[in-house]
Structure 1
Amino acid sequence: MTTTAFEPAPAGTGTALSLTGATRIYGAGETGVIALRDVSLELRQSSWTAVMGPSGSGKSTLLQVAAGLDRVDSGRVVLGGTDITHASDQERTELRRERIGFVFQNFNLIGALTAEQNVALPLELAGRPPGRDTVRQALALVGLGERATHRPRELSGGQQQRVAIARAMITRPQVLFADEPTGALDSAAARVVLELMREMTRSGQTILMVTHDPAAAAAADETVFLRDGQLIDRVAGADATTIASRLVVLEARR
């Protein structure tokens, strides 16, 4: 793996993302479900926060409202100093295109495109096609400089995830949102991806990651725990055993 630094979007040393009293309700009346209940969370620049909790605890909803994919019913969401709580659909689309990145469990690469074409795609769609050198550098940063012309089927799962990370990072996002980024990988490939994400934070990137894996969460700076839509616990610098124990307690209290 190369040790060259990533270059995330310029930002200060303050808050990269904050949620204040964020509440999201699906449905109405007696059939309404409170997916997120009065959650307040602040992510500092260059920090890596993992989100854990039992199934149905609100993890995915938290990620979606923080990334502007969904709206809160009450509360406030601020990204990089911009209040996006009441942003229009067009403003949210531009926000996702210009200021945030996504990495998913299943990579979401386009099979017909090469690695370099997949990486270039976000900027192509934004009307700002990158030069080949820029794309090749992004792939080199994730250790895949020699795989630029390979298609996803010619890459391992871990390599595909690294292509997905390069694709997310080429736009220099203020916050990278990762949804189970190691969930489809074996332990060796997962370690490489987690090491890569740590290198990103050293270069100023902010990461919010949903995971079910205590080992992945232990790689982050802090882990927050949700249950029934509420943020009920958080630990900083904990190892995988400690995190797993906290999760077992949450499951037992359901």
Structure 2
Amino acid sequence: MTYGNAVELHEVSREYGLGVRALDGVSAVFPAGTWTAVMGPSGSGKSTLLHCAAGLEQVTRGRVLLAGRDITAAPDAALTAMRRRSVGFVFQSFNLIGSLTAEQNVALPLKLSGVRVPRRDVHAALARVGLGDRVRHRPRELSGGQQQRVAIARAMIMSPAVLFADEPTGALDSASARTVLGLMREMADAGQTIVMVTHDPAAAARADAVVFLADGRIVDRLVRPTATRVADRLVRLEG
């Protein structure tokens, strides 16, 4: 990457309807090649921050730079093209298509972009997440943890500048969650930028840093987190 920060937010506010302010003058940078967890009480603005950073929602005020480009006022078509080229998404609900196999689900984003996907690349992506022997399985034939790993392979097939994850372990049992988090840690160690919203201190502890939100503002930051330190900060915010 030729830029130092994968994502930059400058005095970003996001308002809805009758003056409801989900984000209130947030400034933050997410350095390239790092994994940052975003935490805070319910309603603190975590998912809104992620959506604005990824260009899924337009900010009310401020500026957003994604992969070195100012996307603040970009038209929808340009944002869509930018996301397909530079962004990967992993959500709690997996968002796999039940009628498609694992390899077809992984290849789908590229096909929608008009890009021919060599089968060997799709198989390599699934092998990277430990599913090289499940390429022809459909979601109903996979466990929750395996489905999330298919979703990660799908997100990674385009080598995105940033991987945005919204509660990626929220629907998983503890063993599956550890597997997924271990995979994400390997990706971060290899230089993948990850911005992850989570409510789980154990998940946040796998990141390089944690940003804490309250009432739409960044109120704290923790570097080299541990689950205990993260939980303590959350208790103080929610108390």
TM (normalized to structure 1)?
0.93
Please name the residue that 2:117 is paired with: 130
What pairs with 1:39-50 in structure 2 (closer than 5 Å)? 39-50=26-37
CA contact (8 A) 1:12 1:45 kept: no
Query: What is the rounded CA distance, in whole Å, between the counterparts of 1:76 and 1:161 in structure 2?
Result: 32
Between 1:11-20 and 1:71-80, the stretch displaced more is 11-20
Please name the residue that 1:59 is paired with: 46
Please name the residue that 1:234 is paired with: 221
Partner amino acid, structure 2, of 1:24: R
Please name the residue that 2:185 is paired with: 198
Structure 2: any 5+ residue segments left out of the alignment?
none
Please name the residue that 1:32 is paired with: 19
CA contact (8 A) 1:97 1:126 kept: yes
Partner amino acid, structure 2, of 1:123: L
Shift of 1:241: 1.1
Q: Does 1:71 align with 2:61?
A: no
Query: What is the rounded CA distance, in whole Å, between the counterparts of 1:46 and 1:81 in structure 2?
Result: 14
Please name the residue that 1:23 is paired with: 13
Structure 1: any 5+ residue segments left out of the alignment?
1-10
CA contact (8 A) 1:157 1:184 kept: yes
Shift of 1:13: 6.2
Q: Give a deviation string over 1:170-220, Cα, whole Å, max 9, x none.
A: 011100000000001111111111111111112221000000000000000
Shift of 1:12: 3.2
CA contact (8 A) 2:15 2:23 kept: yes
Paired residue for 2:202, among 215, 230, 233?
215
CA contact (8 A) 2:3 2:67 kept: no
Query: What is the rounded CA distance, in whole Å, between the counterparts of 1:134 and 1:221 in structure 2?
Result: 29
TM (normalized to structure 2)?
0.98
CA contact (8 A) 1:51 1:208 kept: yes
Partner amino acid, structure 1, of 2:16: Y
What pairs with 1:89-168 in structure 2 (closer than 5 Å)? 89-168=76-155
Give the 3-state SS of the residue equivalent to 1:184 in structure 2.
Answer: coil
How many residue pairs were aligned? 239
CA contact (8 A) 1:68 1:96 kept: yes
Query: Which runs of 4 or more aligned residues in structure 1 lie more than 4 Å from their structure 2 counterparts after TM superposition?
Result: none
Give the 3-state SS of the residue equivalent to 2:116 in structure 1.
Answer: coil
